[in-house]
């Protein structure tokens, strides 16, 4: 390809294609627990009101401190952080929205889609919902 054809191509090519061909990243992918994550559908305000009876067998993992559950039917990640506190988070990974690829250990959720990690505090990049525990009844709202 001659210089003039190359110039014409670069002049008319879409900027993202050119930048991609040159290896210049447009967006930093696979970010960890920080504020530079890609916006997802979970960024819009979603009204949530969920009541869970922890006596139900599906939620048995939440009976012990450190237990967690990916409640995909309601798009929630639930983790018991103490005898009296269960935290609830949106289970959409802020990076690319994956909901079903979660694991949990050492107070950290990990999305296995790209290895992103988020703490179980309400200060992480995961959307945290209000939750209250009364006996074995967990109520989640925003």
**Fold for domain 33-141?**
Rieske Iron-sulfur Protein (2.102.10)
- To the nearest whole number, what is the mean pLDDT of the chain? 80
pLDDT digits (tens, 9 = 90+) for 1-45: 566 666 666 566 555 454 455 554 434 344 444 433 333 444 456
- Where are the strands (E) in the chain, listed by range? 49-53, 68-71, 76-80, 86-90, 102-105, 108-111, 116-119, 128-134, 137-141
pLDDT digits (tens, 9 = 90+) for 61-86: 999 999 999 999 999 999 999 999 99
Is the pTM higher than 0.85? The answer reads no
pLDDT at site 65? 96
* 110 closest CA partner among 128, 97, 133, 93: 93
* 31 closest CA partner among 91, 117, 106: 117
Distance of CA 105 to the CA centre of its chain: 15
DSSP-derived 3-state class of residue 8 = helix
d(CA 85, CA 59): 15
d(CA 107, CA 104): 7
Q: How many CB atoms lie within 10 A of CB 31?
A: 16
**Domain-wise residue ranges, the chain:** 1-30, 33-141
């Amino acid at each position: 390809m001659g210089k003039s054809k190359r110039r014409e191509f670069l002049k008319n090519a879409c900027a993202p294609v050119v930048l991609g061909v040159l290896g210049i990243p447009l967006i930093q992918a696979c970010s960890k627990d920080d504020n530079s994550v890609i916006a997802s559908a979970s960024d819009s305000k979603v009204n949530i009101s969920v009541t869970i009876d922890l006596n139900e067998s599906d939620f048995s993992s939440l009976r012990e401190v450190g237990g967690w559950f990916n409640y995909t039917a309601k798009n929630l990640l639930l983790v018991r952080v103490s005898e009296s506190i269960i935290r609830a988070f949106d289970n959409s990974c802020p990076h690319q929205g994956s909901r079903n690829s979660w694991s949990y250990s050492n107070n950290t959720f990990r999305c296995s889609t790209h290895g992103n990690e988020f703490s179980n505090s309400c200060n992480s990049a995961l959307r945290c919902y209000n939750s209250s525990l009364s006996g074995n009844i967990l109520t989640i709202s925003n």
